[in-house]
Amino acid sequence: MRYQDVSPTAAFAARADARVVDVREPDEFTGELGHIPGSELVPLATIGSAASTWDRDKPLVLVCRSGARSGRAAQALAGAGFRRVMNLAGGMLAYRAAGLPVEGS
């Protein structure tokens, strides 16, 4: 199964319909880069168990610092049958560079 890399602008726009999941650690979620408004923290190590109750047809946007950890999560979730998985390309670094709204920073 595949997932799609999306731009920071596309990730922000997807918030209306998608579940936005940040796979960083708690101190990163509230740290200097902040997080996307409305996102939920699900550290990468817990993504498999947390996702077991999620709707596999609802769009998912996965976020981390640079896009690497969220890419691994996206690949795992796509492989687990999630059909509309997106990875924030460049992570919160790219999101902040795009000047989009953040919380917790």
Name the residues annotated as catalytic.
64
Give how far Cα 27 sits from Cα of 2, 23, 35, 44, 85, Å. 30, 12, 11, 13, 25
- What gap in Å lies between CA 36 and CA 45, rounded to an integer? 20
Closest-CA residue to 3 (of 86, 97, 80, 88): 86
